[in-house]
Amino acid sequence: MFTSNVSTLDTTDYRLLRELTRDGRAADVLLGERINLSGTAVSRRRRTMEERGIIAGYSAKLDMSSLGFHGVVMVSVELNSQAEHVLVEFERQVVKCPSISYCGFVSGDTDFMIMIHVNSFNDYDGIYRRELSSLPHVARIRSSFVLREVARRSTPPVVFDGMK
C-alpha cells in the first residue's frame, strides 16, 4: 500500500520542491527569492520536509556521456519461477553486478527491468557475458538499446504544479 505525505503540502512547498530539484545546492536566501519567501522560512520548510522524509537526500546529477558512457541498454529479465527463494536469490546476485545502474521488479510479461550504461554498444557483449549470463534462475533476457533519450525527469511534473 502506498503512503503519502503530500496531503499536508501546500502550493509553496511544491514550489520549493520544484526549485530544489532544479538546484539542490541553492542557498535558502536564493530559493526564497525565487518563491517569494524569506530564507528563514525556506530553511524551516526544507528542514520539515527532510524530517518527514519527503526530501530523502541530495545528490549530484552526472552527465554520463562526459564520463564515457555513451549508450544505455534496457534489459528485461524473465525468471524460470517466481518462488520467493528464486526472487531473493536473483535480487541478491543482481545487486553485486557493478554495471547495473537500476533494477526493478515489475509487473507484466517480464519480471525485472534493468538499466545499464555502456561506453559503447559493443561493450554490452562483455557485460552480458560477465554479469547477466551468470545471474541465477534466468529463463530469458531481452535487450533494447536506447537510440535517443526523449525525456528525463527526476519527479513527475504534476507534483510541482501543486496538483494532488
**118 assigned to some structural domain:** yes
Residues 14 and 79 in one domain: no
Return the pLDDT at 121.
Answer: 85
Return the pLDDT at 164.
Answer: 41
- DSSP E strand stretches across 7-161: 71-79, 100-105, 112-118, 138-145
Residues 93 and 138 in one domain: yes
Q: Exposure pattern of 81-118 as b/e (b: 16+ CB <10 Å)? A: eeeeeebeebeeebeebebbeebeeeeeebbbebebbb
Q: Output the nine-digit C-alpha cell for 83.
A: 518462488
**78 assigned to some structural domain:** yes
Residues 78 and 101 in one domain: yes
Residues 50 and 85 in one domain: no
Model confidence band, residue 160 (pLDDT cutoffs 50, 70, 90): low
CATH number for 134: 3.30.70.920
Residues 80 and 22 in one domain: no
State how many domains the chain has: 2
Model confidence band, residue 162 (pLDDT cutoffs 50, 70, 90): very low
* Percentage of residues of the chain with pLDDT beyond 90: 77
Q: Which domain holds residue 120?
A: 71-145
Residues 38 and 19 in one domain: yes
Question: Model confidence over 15-67: pLDDT tens digits?
Answer: 999 899 889 999 999 999 999 999 999 999 999 999 999 999 998 888 899 99
**160 assigned to some structural domain:** no
**Contact partners, residue 147, CB within 8 Å, separation at least 6:** none
User: Which amino acid belongs to residue 42?
Assistant: V
Residues 82 and 123 in one domain: yes
Return the pLDDT at 37.
Answer: 96
DSSP, res 8: G
Question: Model confidence over 70-105: pLDDT tens digits?
Answer: 999 999 999 999 999 999 999 999 999 999 999 999
Return the pLDDT at 4.
Answer: 54
CATH number for 53: 1.10.10.10
Q: How far is CA 46 from CA 32, 35, 54, 113, in A?
A: 11, 13, 9, 33
